Structure 1
Amino acid sequence: MGNVDIDLFKPELVFFDFEATDRFEFFKKMEAVLLEGGYIKDTWYDAITTREKNFPTGLQFETISVALPHVDPEHLVKPYIAVIRPKDPVVFEGMAGIGGDIPAELIVNLGLTEHAEGQVAVLQALMGVFLDAGAVEDIRAQTTPEGMVATMRRLCA
C-alpha cells in the first residue's frame, strides 16, 4: 500500500468492546480519550460531528461494515489513527451518497495532518484492506491492542 504512515497505529489508540449507543456518543467518548492523549484541539468534537453529518463515512464491505470518520487538520494537535472495535455495532450513515444505516463493526478514526490528497490515499489504502477477506479475518482475530497494531501496520505497509 505504502500511503499510510504505519507509525500512527499505536496500542494506546486501539479499543475493544468500546461502548457507544450511537455515533455522537462514540465521538464524545473518543474526544475524552484523544484530548487526554494530546491528539486533538477542543474544536474536534464539533468539527467531526459536523463533517460526519455532511460527509457520512459508513461503508459496507462484503465481509465487514466499517466507518472511517475523519476531521480537518486544523482540529488536531498531532496525527493519529485510532482503531475501535465496538462492543455492539455503532450505526453510521453510508458514505458518498450510498445512504442508509451502516452498523459499523470496526471504526477507524483518522486524525491526519496531511491535506486532502493524503487523506484520500489513506482512505483508499484502508478500503483495499477491507475488500480483502483474508485481511478482514486477520483484523477480526486480534484480541490485544499490540496484535491489532501489528496487523494494521502489516496490512497497510
Structure 2
Amino acid sequence: MMFFNKEIIKFNFEGHSKEQVLSHLSEKFIENDLVTQDFYESIISRELSFPTGLWINDTGIAIPHTDSEKVKQAQIGFMSLKQPVTFKEMANKDNEIEVSLIFMLALKQSDQQLSMLQKLVNLFQNESLVKQLKECTSLIEFKSIMKNAGIE
C-alpha cells in the first residue's frame, strides 16, 4: 500500500468548512515530511481556479491536489466527514457540492497523477465501494476497499 503507507486516514471527521478539513489533512502530510510547508496554500489556491468536487452515486467526493513541486514523497490522504462540507464542482465551478469523502493527492509525476485520478473515478463509479467508504471506520477495512479498487 505504497500510497497509503503513512496512513493519513481519518474516519467521520467533524469538519465545518472545506478550509478546515483541507488544513487538517495538509498538516498530516507536512508532519510526515511528505510535502513542502506551502502545500496547504497551494491546495487552496488550486481549488479556487480548478475545483475538485464531484457528485457521483449520490455522494459528494473531492480530490484536492496540487503541483508536484510541492510533493517530497507520493502519498494519498483520505477523510470521511461526519457532516458534509461545501466544495465547488469540478465540471462547473458555479455549482456547489456537499462533499463527504475526500481523497487528497500528493503525487510526484504527472502521469502518476493522471492514472490515479482515473483509478479513483473508476472507484467512485462503483456504488457498493462508495457505500463501503462512507461506512468504513477501520484502517484494515479501508485498505481492503482500496485494494479491491486496484489502488495501493
Q: Report the TM-score when normalising by structure 1.
A: 0.87
State the alpha-carbon separation in 2 of the partners of residues 43 and 11 from structure 1: 20
**Letter in structure 2 aligned against 1:96:** A
Find out whether 1:80 has 2:75 as its counterpart: yes
- Structure 2 counterpart SS, 1:134: helix
- 1:52 deviation in Å? 0.6
State the alpha-carbon separation in 2 of the partners of residues 141 and 27 from structure 1: 21
**Letter in structure 2 aligned against 1:36:** E
Find out whether 1:136 has 2:130 as its counterpart: yes
- 1:93 deviation in Å? 0.3
By relative contact order (CA 8 Å, sep 6+), the higher-ranking structure is: 1
State the alpha-carbon separation in 1 of the partners of residues 76 and 32 from structure 2: 12
Find out whether 1:56 has 2:51 as its counterpart: yes
- Structure 2 counterpart SS, 1:51: helix
Change in 2 beyond 3 A, CA 1:149/1:111:
same
Find out whether 1:19 has 2:14 as its counterpart: yes
State the alpha-carbon separation in 2 of the partners of residues 10 and 88 from structure 1: 27
State the alpha-carbon separation in 2 of the partners of residues 118 and 11 from structure 1: 18
The sequence identity of aligned pairs, in percent, is 26
Residue in structure 1 matched with residue 118 of structure 2 by the alignment: 124
Say what the alpha-carbon RMSD is for the aligned residues: 1.7
Aligned residues: 151
State the alpha-carbon separation in 1 of the partners of residues 31 and 114 from structure 2: 27
Deviating more after overlay: 37-46 vs 51-60: 37-46
**Cα deviations by residue, 1:14-73 (Å, 9 ceiling, x for unpaired):** 101222211111222222211111111111011111101000000001232100101111
- Structure 2 counterpart SS, 1:89: strand
State the alpha-carbon separation in 2 of the partners of residues 142 and 26 from structure 1: 18
Deviating more after overlay: 140-149 vs 66-75: 140-149
Contact preservation (8 Å) 1:9, 1:152: no
Gaps of 5+ in 2: none
- 1:138 deviation in Å? 2.7
